[in-house]
Amino acid sequence: MISFKIEQLFSFMDLLFLLAQLLLFFALPYLLAQINAFLGLQKYLSNIIICYALGMLLGNAQPLLLGESLGAQSAETAKLIAFVSVLLALPLLLMTSDLRSWLRYLGHLGKVFFIMLGSTLILALAFAYALADGPYEELPTILGMFTGVYIGGTPNMVAVSQALEAEDGLFVLLNATDVLCSGLYFLLLLSLGNSLLGRLLPKFKPKGEGEEEAPAISVEQYNVKQIIWALGLALVILGLSVLPALYWPNAQGEINSSILLLAITTGSILLSFFGPTKNWQGVYPFADYLLLVFGLGAGYLANFSELAQDGASYLLLNASFLGLLLLLQLFWAYIFRIDRDSFMICSTATVMGPPFVAQISSSLKNRSLLAPAIAFSLLGLALANYLGVLVAYLAELF
């Protein structure tokens, strides 16, 4: 009888710990964002980087604060929170986008976007050929994840990693190196990009007025009812996407992550075409908040000792890939006479994602490109899952 009560007590304590961790992971991003805004650091330090860094600190401190059992449980909970957050954020981002309106920008930023996209594909396959006999056993998966993140964003990196069934440690390493490399590039754009690129590329010539007054995404108004409806639709898309993923399992007989995530992307795109969701208020910032939760959860899984042991080689690979990618993009921009503002804003949209576009736009004092740049950044989110998986499969052929 005493043994039974002790087991009940431990089960109850485990449940309390689980609820406390869920509350912590979903409340901390809000508090961190508010502190960041209060201190005025948003122009220099993004919320996702703060959440990821704090997650890493909490994850590496848990062996000192928790026992082995609770530590393992907290890691599994963090993994689940991170994965579910991305699975819900991706359809929410896509269903609120007006994909039809993107076609009108193909003549201007569209050319820049496809230069970025094509350069990423070319370079990824070139790396696959050059490093076919190199030290990276997971090279096809790595290149698929690079393609996902540098055409879309972090949600695509995690989506491609799950679709290709990459190890958790690989995603943590590549996400950490990406944060460092792309962060340094963004700081370079803010500080020196305006003057350096202005010497190589022509100045921006506005085509007319009016675009500045119509931002693509409003983050000022929240409609709780519409957010709940959007979340319900995202769950429906997720549920329907599970069916083909279970019907066609992977080689291990488990749910097929590739089919699951590609089905989620396709369903969300169709909903954005035929549904009213693109006009719903507050859904996009809610999805962005889920990405902060993801950053906290993914950072919690990081292991400093693993980063210290294996991080240097992955950092070198990531820095080489991103550096050569930007040089290749700049080469094509010079050949096709892409103006400086369009190059900087569209490069930021693909490498860094929508939240950073506004900062570059403000730095350039050019709001006319803000709306189409965010539109193409979201288009990158839609395409990156497909292209990342495709690159990984093609890289296997080398």
The size of the chain, in residues, is 398
Instruction: Work out the number of other CB atoms within 10 angstroms of the CB of residue 335.
Output: 9
pLDDT over 60 (residue 70)? yes
SS3 282: coil
Closest to 388 (Cα-Cα) out of 211, 102, 160:
160
Residue in the structure block whose two tokens are 């740049």: 373
pLDDT per residue as tens digits for the range 285-295: 888 888 889 87
Confidence tier at 6 by pLDDT (50, 70, 90): very low
pLDDT over 50 (residue 217)? no
Q: What is the pLDDT of residue 5?
A: 44
Share of the chain above pLDDT 90, in %: 21
Please give the Cα distance from 330 to 299 (Å, whole number). Answer: 32
Give how far Cα 303 sits from Cα of 161, 205, 310, Å: 18, 48, 11
Please give the Cα distance from 188 to 174 (Å, whole number). Answer: 21
Q: Is-contact 360 233, C-beta < 8 A?
A: no
pLDDT over 50 (residue 209)? no
Which has the higher per-residue pLDDT, 208 or 83?
83
Q: What is the pLDDT of residue 292?
A: 86
How far the first Cα of the chain sits from its last, in Å, is 64
Which has the higher per-residue pLDDT, 69 or 76?
76
Q: What is the mean pLDDT of the chain?
A: 80
Q: What's the rounded mean pLDDT across residues 73-97?
A: 83
Q: What is the pTM of this model?
A: 0.65
